[in-house]
Amino acid sequence: MRARFALIALAALGFWALADLTLKAGPSLGGIGQAGGFLRRAWPLDFPPLGEILTQVGRTMAVVLLATLVSVLLGGALAVAATVGRRFTAGASRVALTAARALPDVVLAVIFIRFFGLGALPAVLAMGLHSAGMVGRLYAAAVEQADRGPQEALRAVGAGRIQTFCTAVLPQVAPSFLSIALYRLDINLRISAILGYVGSTGIGTELAMAFGRLDYQRGMAWAVVLFVLCALTEISSGAIRRHGIPARLCKVVAVGGVLAVGWAIVASGVLEVDLAGNWLETLTLFWPPTTAGAELGTALLTTVQVALAATALGALVAVPLGSVAASNVAPNRFVYFVSRAVVLIVRSIPELVLAVLFLLIAGPGPVAATLALAVGASGLLGKLVADSTEQLPPSPALALRSVGASRLQTFFGATFRQGVPDLVSNLLYQLDSNLRAATLLGIVGGGGIGLYLLQAMRTREYAVVTMILLLLFAVVLSLELLATRLVRRIR
Amino acid sequence: MAAESPVVSLRAVTKMFGSARALDEVELEVRRGEVVVLLGRSGAGKSTLLRHVAGLQQATSGGLTVLGTEVSTARERELRRLRRRIGFVFQGFQLVGRLSALENACSGALGRLAGPRLGLATYPRAVRRLAAEQLDRVGLSAQAYQRADTLSGGEQQRVAIARALVQQPQILLADEPVAALDPSSATTVLELLRGIAREEQLTVICSLHQVAPALSFATRVVGLRSGRVFSDQQVSEVDEETLARVYGAAE
């Protein structure tokens, strides 16, 4: 009952946001004609020389690898402290993990750029700090789910907390630690492309520069490169996550990993730091926070609306699509495989590529950002819906089938009803991720608070950057607290 | 010769779980070299009693002295030092499944080693040699490098015994060590435990719930019922009537 109410409330909010955004955008909405014109200007794609592509791919992957490494080290340390530590240490670590998750990566990047100059280091630190929160939380969950038996046995041997963790817990959770790190690597790759717009290095920067000089042929070529890179990374990390690393290759992989990190440190250029000026003086630029007359409240509302509307629109596609992509609902193997394939492909298109497409088709503004995020959301949400539907207990559906209900009657009478609490928690997760993405897309041209962030960076009004940081932190944190409460209540 | 003080002594130990009385004023003294079998139905308090002796659980009230340490007032550091000298064999083996049998055996030495260990190579050579010897003793030298979760139940329990022996303990506690095993593995494991207890002059406290193996294994049989010591007899004096009442219907 509560779950259904939450679902209706989310839908109502989503469509209110959508109506409000389209109303404000008015008739300036581009439409099909503009889309045709854009395609003519972008065709044929103008790929840079292979050497150039490889250099940029290398730089991008190097930054992403280092950022993920930072998040694994930092998040891992906090997760261990949160699970193994005594009461105070554990509590403080949990707070740090939640705070890190709520830190908006792109705002961090802007701040770090002021300290370290343009380049790889700000991106590595910003993504690393932000993703440490997520990685750490998932790591802590994995530790908590580990079998307690061996831990008790080692306690009985007289081993200390750290010894017990290393011998009894770490071997158990190592596979899920690896899989979580790879999952985060996929996400960081997408984010790093957008960070290119604020002055990181790699494919995102090339893409931003090409579009900046209206060179759509080159820009779209880079977008294709980014899409292929994301798809390849996702396929290979997915394969490792599913099958693990064969024991006989472990040593090779370990050595390869160390070499890769060494290469990444050199190739990303994190060491080329430009320590601009006096840090104390720089710090005073950021304080006290101010809005400097900008209507940050309205902008923040727009960003929240984009996230809400995109989640609702995405759900419209994702719920039916994800349902038939669940093996216990799909009417036949063909529908199952096709819908799974659609979900997979949509999910592997990076948000930046979608945003660029929709911005060019629909013109800059929140509507384009909403559409881009909605497409992305239908992919991710579709997968979440499919996976959670497959986890539902089968007995109620079987009972309805046995009294002669049709497939459709069974779905609406049992399966869908059972799935509502899962759906609400998946929608909240999607909303959370859309809120971050909506901020990022603002920088690319999607309006909202991201636009003001870019302006503040260009006009060097760093006190405004601090204000935006605080506002976003507060919104993300309250959404997270609300979501945690809600999910606990409807279960 | 003056009587040696007991290795384990429980004085009116009571343990409450909420309002349930898991141990009810238990009095028990165990001397060096005794092999005590605790008999009783499930829920009689056997596991709880063993966990208290190992310092894994704290009593609600009463006094408990183990190897000269007063457990009820000991700090965590003292408890760790005490646990080091007590081997514990669990019903569910409680091995680290993804590690080799040898590394599981080595982990028995963690209590006397400083700092964490990551991988077999990080244990001192002496520990590895000792662990290999103990695996040999339980008849598993051929499986030393096999992952623990690929071994059979009986083999896993023997690895767990090797781990306890690597501790070089003065007391060996075993909580239903054969309850999860098939009859033939159960016999092997119990014979192994009995042989080790004799060779090492170990004090053993072992809970079982079958009578026949208990009588061939123990020097003394303690019957527990509803958290109380119901009977306490040397194995030569055990009579069937008492045992039947240990398992009998509630009075």
> Under 8 Å CB-to-CB from A428, ≥6 apart: which residues?
A10, A479, A483, A486, A487
CB distance A380 to A430 below 8 Å? yes
| A119-148 residues touching B, CB cutoff 8 A | 147
Helix extents (H) in A159-295: 161-164, 170-195, 203-212, 216-243, 250-268, 279-285
Q: Is the pLDDT of residue B1 over 50?
A: no
Average pLDDT over all residues of chain B: 91
Asked if A171 is an interface residue toward chain B (Cβ–Cβ < 8 A), one would say yes
Task: Compute the residue count for chain B.
Answer: 251
Chain A interface disruption, residue of B90, B107, B166, most A CBs within 10 A: B107
Per-residue pLDDT reduced to its tens digit, B197-245: 889 889 999 998 888 888 888 999 999 999 999 999 998 888 888 888 8
Residue whose entry in the numeric block shows the structure tokens 């989503």: A14
Q: Which residues of B fall within a CB distance of 8 Å from A167?
A: 96, 99, 107, 110, 116-117
Task: State residue B250's pLDDT score.
Answer: 47
Q: Which residues of B fall within a CB distance of 8 Å from A159?
A: 80, 107, 110-111
> Under 8 Å CB-to-CB from B77, ≥6 apart: which residues?
none
Between helix A351-362 and helix A203-212 the angle, nearest 10°, is: 10
Between helix A50-84 and helix A250-268 the angle, nearest 10°, is: 110
Q: Is B20 helix (H, G, I), strand (E, B) or coil?
A: strand
d(CA A342, CA A338): 6
Q: Is the pLDDT of residue B53 over 60?
A: yes
Chain B interface disruption, residue of A161, A167, A169, A251, most B CBs within 10 A: A167
Task: State residue B215's pLDDT score.
Answer: 86
Nearest to A207 by CA among A362, A350, A310: A350
Nearest to A351 by CA among A300, A306, A297, A298: A306
Per-residue pLDDT reduced to its tens digit, B116-168: 999 899 999 999 999 999 999 999 999 999 999 999 999 999 999 999 999 99
Asked if A356 is an interface residue toward chain B (Cβ–Cβ < 8 A), one would say no
Residue of B nearest to A164 (CA): B116
Per-residue pLDDT reduced to its tens digit, B163-208: 999 999 999 999 999 998 999 999 999 999 989 988 988 999 999 8
Q: Do B112 and A172 touch (CB under 8 A)?
A: no
Per-residue pLDDT reduced to its tens digit, A310-320: 999 999 999 99
Q: Which residues of B fall within a CB distance of 8 Å from A150?
A: 94-97
Q: Which of B93, B99, B116 is opposite residue A171, by nearest beta carbon?
A: B99
- Closest Cα of chain B to A148: distance in Å? 8
Per-residue pLDDT reduced to its tens digit, A344-370: 888 888 888 888 888 888 888 899 999
Q: Which of A147, A157, A171 is opposite residue B110, by nearest beta carbon?
A: A157
Residues of chain A with pLDDT under 50: none
Nearest to A371 by CA among A306, A324, A315, A322: A306
CB distance A445 to A292 below 8 Å? no
Asked if A160 is an interface residue toward chain B (Cβ–Cβ < 8 A), one would say yes
If you ran DSSP here, which 8-state letter would residue A365 be given? S
Burial label, A44 (beta-carbon count in 10 A; 0-12, 13-18, 19+) = exposed
Q: How many CB pairs under 8 A join A and B?
A: 80
Q: Which of B94, B107, B163 is opposite residue A152, by nearest beta carbon?
A: B94
Per-residue pLDDT reduced to its tens digit, B67-87: 999 998 899 889 999 999 999
Task: State residue A16's pLDDT score.
Answer: 93
Query: How does DSSP assign A338-356, residue by residue?
Result: HHHHHHHHHHTS-HHHHHH
Q: Is the pLDDT of residue B2 over 50?
A: no
Q: Using CA atoms of A306, A311, A312, A316 in order, give the dihedral in degrees to the nearest 10.
A: 130
Chain A interface disruption, residue of B88, B90, B98, most A CBs within 10 A: B98
d(CA A43, CA A215): 11
Q: Which of A149, A171, A172 is opposite residue B92, by nearest beta carbon?
A: A149
The structure's pTM equals 0.87
d(CA A318, CA A384): 9
| pLDDT tier at B251, thresholds 50, 70, 90 | very low
